C-alpha cells in the first residue's frame, strides 16, 4: 500500500465524504446528490458499472472507501455529459467521476488491469512528451499495452482499419519517426512540471 | 459579408496525416468560400481531451488549455477562439469557465504558465465552428452560397455528445438540437426528423479501451440511421466521425449486419453543395466512400 494512501486513511479516518470533498476534483458537490438515479439511467454504459454514479455518491457518504476507489465504475465514464445535462441538482457528475478516477490512480487503488485506466495514462504520457498527440504511437502503445503476444493479435485484428486510415491519408507510418510536436517543448514541459508541483503541494502529496 | 477573422485552435487530430485531416481540408475549403479567416494559434498544444485524467491532475490539465488561450491572447488580440474539434472546444471552454470561477486556480495556473513565459487574462470567447456558421453568418447566408443543392439525399444529423453537452449551441435543447438538421436542409438535402440516436454516445475515447462495449453503442447509432432511411450520417465531431465510420466492418463481423454507411463532416457537405471538387471537399478522406456526394461533386 502506498504511503500516500496510508496517510490519507489516517488523516480522514471515518469520513470518506470529507476525504472526497478535500481531495477529489469537484468533490464538494457529492453531498448535494438526492439519489434520484437520473444519472445512472442516462449513462450509455450504465449496465457495465459495478456501481452507477448514484450508488457511488451514497457509498461515499456511507464510508465505503475501498469499495469505491477500487471499483472499475468511474473508468466506465465515456464523457458524454448526459448525467451533467440531466442532473436536477446540477452536480458536475462527469467531472466528479474523472476526479474519483484520478484520485484512485494517485492512491494506487485502481483495478490493475483496467483498460481505460491504462489507455488514459498512455494518452497522457503521449501528449506530455511533445505537447501534441502522436496518434500512430498512441495506437501502437494501446495494442501492446497487455504484452507482446496480445499486441500482435490486436494489431492483426486492427490491420484493415489501419490500412483504410493510411489509404485515405489519415494516418502515416512516418509519424513513428518523430511526427508533430510543439516548438517550445521545453517551456511546455516546464509548465506542466510546475502545475504538477503546485497541485501536489496543495493535496499534500509532495515528497511521497 | 465582410471578412470574419478568428483565432483558430485546430487540435491534434486535424494535423497532416492524422485521423481527421480530412475535416481540416473541408473546413479550409468551406471557410474560403464563406470569407472566414482562420489564424492558427502559434505553437498550440493538445488539450488532453476528456481522457487525460489518469495521468494528469486538475491543474496540469487546466494548464494545457490555458497555454493555448494565452498564446491566442498574445497573437490574436480581439479575435474569438474557434475550434473545430468537439473535445478541443469543450476542454478549452471548461478551462475558461473554471478559471473564471476560481481565482486561486487562475493564480496557480498563471504561476505554471510563467514557466513558459506566458500569462493568461482569460477574457476571450471560446467557440465551436458551428457557432460561427449559424450565429455569425446565419442559415440564410450559408444558403446563398449553394451552387449544387444536394437534392434527393436523405441525411441523419448525428450531433453526438460534446458539441451538445454540457454547453451546446445557444437556443438548442440537449435532447433534440436542430442545428444540424437545419444545416442539412440549408444545402438542399432532407434531414431525418426522427433520428432517435441523434445525441447518443459513440463511446468516445472508450472505443479504444472498451471496443466491445463501444461498438454496441455504435451499432445502434448506425442501425437507427438505416431505419430512418438515411443515405449517410453527418457529424460535427472528429471522434464521432471516426468511431461511426471505421468500426462498421468489425460490427458487421460480430453482429451479422451489412453496414456500409458513409459518415461525413458538415464541412464536407457544405463544400460539395458550394460546388467544390471531391478533393476540396475531402471526399478522398472517406474510408467508406460517399458515392452520392462524389457524383454531385463531379457533375
> What stretch of H or E contains A149?
helix A148-157
* A78 vs A178 pLDDT, higher one: A78
Mean pLDDT computed over A118-141: 94
The residue of chain A nearest to residue B18, with distances taken between CA atoms, is A170
Which of the residues A112, A192, A193, A197 would you substitute to probe the B interface, choosing the one with the greatest number of B C-beta atoms within 10 Å? A192
Average pLDDT of B45-65? 96
Q: Are residues B199 and B269 in the same domain?
A: yes
CB contact under 8 A, B165 and A81: yes
* Test mutation, B11, B23, B24, B51, chain A, max A CBs within 10 A: B51
Is residue B25 domain-shared with residue B105, that is, in the same domain?
yes
User: Does one domain contain both B154 and B293?
Assistant: yes
Using CA coordinates, name the residue in chain B closest to A127: B46
β B190-191/B263-265 pair status: unpaired
Q: Do B45 and A172 touch (CB under 8 A)?
A: no
Domain membership flag for residue B259: yes
| Shared-domain flag, residues B79 and B169 | no
Which of B129, B156, B184 is where one domain is finished? B129
pLDDT digits (tens, 9 = 90+) for B66-123: 999 999 999 999 999 999 999 999 999 999 999 999 999 999 999 999 999 999 999 9
**Mean pLDDT in residue range B233-258:** 98
Alpha-carbon span A38 to A36, nearest angstrom: 6
Measure B241 CA to nearest chain A CA, in Å.
12
> Comparing A1-15, A84-98, B85-99, B250-264, which segment has the lowest mean pLDDT?
A1-15
The C-alpha cell of A167 is what? 489509404
Q: Place domain A3-111 in its CATH homologous superfamily.
A: Alpha-helical ferredoxin (1.10.1060.10)
Q: Do B294 and B155 sit in the same domain of this protein?
A: yes
**pLDDT for residue A207 is more than 60:** no
CB contact under 8 A, A132 and B62: no
Shortest distance, CA A15 to any CA of chain B (angstroms): 23
> Does B210 lie at the interface with A, CB-CB under 8 angstroms?
yes
Instruction: Looking at the structure, tell me whether residues B125 and B151 fall in a common domain.
Output: no
- Condensed to tens digits (0 to 9), the pLDDT of residues B206-220 reads 999 999 999 999 999
Q: Is residue B166 reached through a cis peptide bond, with omega within 30 degrees of 0 on the bond before it?
A: yes
Q: In this predicted structure, what is the pLDDT of residue A208?
A: 40
Domain membership of residue B136 (yes or no) is no
Is the same domain home to B13 and B65? yes
pLDDT at A178 over 50: yes
Whether B287 and A164 lie within 8 Å, measured CB to CB: yes
Chain A contact for B40, CB < 8 A? no
* B151 and B293 housed in the same domain: yes
- Chain B residues whose beta carbon lies within 8 Å of the beta carbon of residue A202: 59, 108
| Per-residue confidence (pLDDT) for residue B267, from 0 to 100 | 98
pLDDT in tens, B130-174: 999 999 999 999 999 999 999 999 999 999 999 999 999 999 999
Residue among B239, B13, B24, B19 nearest A171 (CA): B19
Whether A4 shows a pLDDT value over 50: the answer reads yes
Closest CA to A68 of A44, A94, A103, A28: A103
Residues B125 and B62 in one domain: yes
Q: Best interface-test mutation with A: which of B40, B56, B253, B284 has the largest number of A CBs within 10 A?
A: B56
Residue A137 to residues A162, A176, A178, A186, B43: CA-CA distances in angstroms? 13, 6, 10, 21, 21
**How many structural domains is chain B composed of?**
2
Q: Distance of CA A92 to CAs A15, B56, B189, Å?
A: 22, 19, 38
> What pLDDT sits at residue B280?
98
Give the residue range(s) of CATH 1.10.1060.10 domains in chain A: 3-111
Pair B123, B170 in one domain: no
CA dihedral angle for residue B186, residue B189, residue B195, residue B200, rounded to 10 degrees:
-60
Final residue of a domain: which of B99, B129, B159? Answer: B129
CB contact under 8 A, A127 and B200: no
Examine the pLDDT at A75 and tell me if it is beyond 90: yes
CA torsion sign for B107, B109, B112, B115 is: negative
ipTM: 0.96
Give the number of A-B residue pairs with CB atoms closer than 8 Å.
220
pLDDT digits over A144-174, tens only? 999 999 999 999 999 999 999 999 999 998 8
Average pLDDT over residues B252-278: 98
A154's enclosing H/E stretch is helix A148-157
| CATH label of the domain that carries residue B60 | 1.20.1050.140
| Chain B CB contacts of A169 below 8 Å | 17, 21-22, 284-285
How many angstroms separate the CA of residue B214 from the nearest CA in chain A?
8
B1 pLDDT band (50/70/90 cuts)?
Answer: confident
Q: Quick check: helix, strand or coil at residue A185?
A: helix
**Start-to-end Cα distance in chain A:** 12
Nearest to B17 among A44, A124, A171 (CB): A171
**In the structure, what pLDDT confidence band is assigned to residue A205 with cuts at 50, 70 and 90?**
confident
pLDDT reading at A175 higher than 90: no
For B17-43, write each residue's pLDDT tens digit: 999 999 999 999 999 999 999 999 999
Predicted local distance difference test score (pLDDT) of residue B54: 93
Q: Kindly state the cell numbers that stand for B130.
A: 458551428
Average pLDDT of chain B to the nearest whole number: 97
Q: Are residues B172 and B110 in the same domain?
A: no
* Least reliable range by pLDDT among A60-69, A177-186, B265-274: A177-186
CATH number for the domain harbouring residue B243:
3.40.50.11810
Residue ranges making up the domain that contains B291 = 147-298
| Residue B37: count of CB within 10 angstroms of its CB | 12
pLDDT higher than threshold 50 for residue A92 = yes
**In this structure, how many other beta carbons lie within 10 angstroms of the beta carbon of residue A115?**
18
Q: Three-class SS string for chain B? A: CCCEEEEEECCHHHCCCCCCHHHHHHHHHHHHHHCEEEEECCCCCCCCCCCHHHCCCHHHHHHHHHHHHHHHHHHCCCCCEEECCHHHHHHHHHHHHHHHHCHHHHHHHHHHHHCCCCCCCCCCCEEEHHHHHHHHHCHHHHHHCCCCCCCCCEEEECCCCCCCCCCCCCCCCCCCCCHHHHHHHHCCCEECCCCCCCCCCCCCCHHHHCHHHHHHHHHHHHHHHHHCCCCEEEECCHHHHHHHHHCHHHHHHHHCCCCCCCEEEHHHHHHHHCCCCCCCCCHHHCCCCCHHHHHHHHC
Domain for residue B217, yes or no?
A: yes
Amino acid at each position: 500500500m502506498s504511503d500516500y494512501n496510508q496517510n490519507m486513511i489516517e488523516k480522514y479516518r471515518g469520513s470518506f465524504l470529507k476525504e472526497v470533498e478535500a481531495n477529489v476534483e469537484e468533490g464538494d458537490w457529492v453531498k448535494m446528490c438526492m439519489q434520484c438515479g437520473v444519472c445512472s439511467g442516462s449513462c450509455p454504459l450504465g449496465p457495465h458499472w459495478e456501481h452507477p454514479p448514484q450508488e457511488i455518491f451514497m457509498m461515499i457518504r456511507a464510508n465505503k472507501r475501498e469499495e469505491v476507489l477500487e471499483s472499475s465504475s468511474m473508468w466506465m465514464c465515456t464523457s458524454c455529459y448526459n448525467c451533467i445535462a440531466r442532473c436536477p441538482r446540477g452536480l458536475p457528475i462527469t467531472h466528479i467521476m474523472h476526479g474519483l478516477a484520478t484520485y484512485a490512480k494517485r492512491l494506487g487503488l485502481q483495478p490493475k488491469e483496467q483498460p481505460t485506466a491504462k489507455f488514459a495514462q498512455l494518452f497522457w504520457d503521449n501528449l506530455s512528451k511533445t505537447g501534441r498527440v502522436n496518434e500512430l504511437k498512441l495506437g501502437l502503445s494501446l495494442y501492446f499495452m497487455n504484452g507482446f503476444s496480445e499486441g500482435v493479435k490486436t494489431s492483426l485484428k486492427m490491420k484493415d482499419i489501419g490500412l483504410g486510415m493510411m489509404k485515405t491519408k489519415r494516418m502515416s507510418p512516418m509519424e513513428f519517426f518523430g511526427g508533430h510536436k510543439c516548438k517550445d517543448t521545453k517551456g511546455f514541459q516546464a509548465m506542466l512540471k510546475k502545475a504538477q508541483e503546485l497541485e501536489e503541494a496543495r493535496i499534500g502529496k509532495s515528497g511521497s | 459579408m465582410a471578412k470574419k477573422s478568428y483565432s483558430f485552435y485546430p487540435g491534434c487530430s486535424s494535423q497532416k496525416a492524422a485521423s481527421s485531416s480530412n475535416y481540416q481540408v473541408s473546413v479550409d475549403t468551406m471557410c474560403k468560400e464563406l470569407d472566414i479567416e482562420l489564424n492558427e494559434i502559434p505553437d498550440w498544444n493538445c488539450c488532453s481531451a476528456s481522457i487525460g485524467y489518469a495521468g494528469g491532475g486538475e491543474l496540469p490539465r487546466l494548464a494545457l488549455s490555458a497555454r493555448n488561450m494565452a498564446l491566442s491572447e498574445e497573437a490574436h488580440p480581439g479575435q474569438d477562439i474557434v475550434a473545430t474539434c468537439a473535445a478541443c472546444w469543450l476542454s478549452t471552454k471548461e478551462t475558461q469557465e473554471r478559471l473564471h470561477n476560481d481565482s486561486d486556480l487562475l493564480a496557480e495556473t498563471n504561476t505554471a504558465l510563467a514557466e513558459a513565459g506566458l500569462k493568461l487574462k482569460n477574457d476571450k470567447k471560446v467557440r465551436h465552428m458551428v457557432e460561427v456558421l449559424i450565429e455569425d453568418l446565419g442559415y440564410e447566408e450559408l444558403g446563398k452560397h449553394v451552387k449544387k443543392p444536394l437534392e434527393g439525399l436523405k441525411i441523419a444529423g448525428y450531433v453526438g455528445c460534446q458539441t451538445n453537452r454540457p454547453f451546446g449551441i445557444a437556443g438548442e435543447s440537449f435532447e433534440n438540437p436542430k442545428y444540424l438538421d437545419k444545416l442539412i436542409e440549408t444545402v438542399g438535402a432532407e434531414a431525418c426528423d426522427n433520428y432517435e440516436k441523434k445525441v447518443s454516445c459513440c463511446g468516445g475515447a472508450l472505443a479504444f479501451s472498451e471496443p466491445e462495449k463501444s461498438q454496441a453503442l455504435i451499432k445502434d447509432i448506425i442501425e437507427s440511421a438505416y431505419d430512418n432511411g438515411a443515405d449517410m450520417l453527418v457529424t460535427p465531431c472528429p471522434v464521432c466521425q471516426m468511431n461511426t465510420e471505421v468500426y462498421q466492418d468489425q460490427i458487421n463481423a460480430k453482429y451479422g449486419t451489412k453496414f456500409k454507411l458513409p459518415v461525413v463532416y458538415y464541412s464536407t457537405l457544405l463544400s460539395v453543395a458550394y460546388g467544390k471538387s471531391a478533393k476540396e471537399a475531402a471526399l478522398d478522406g472517406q474510408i467508406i466512400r460517399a458515392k452520392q456526394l462524389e457524383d454531385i461533386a463531379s457533375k
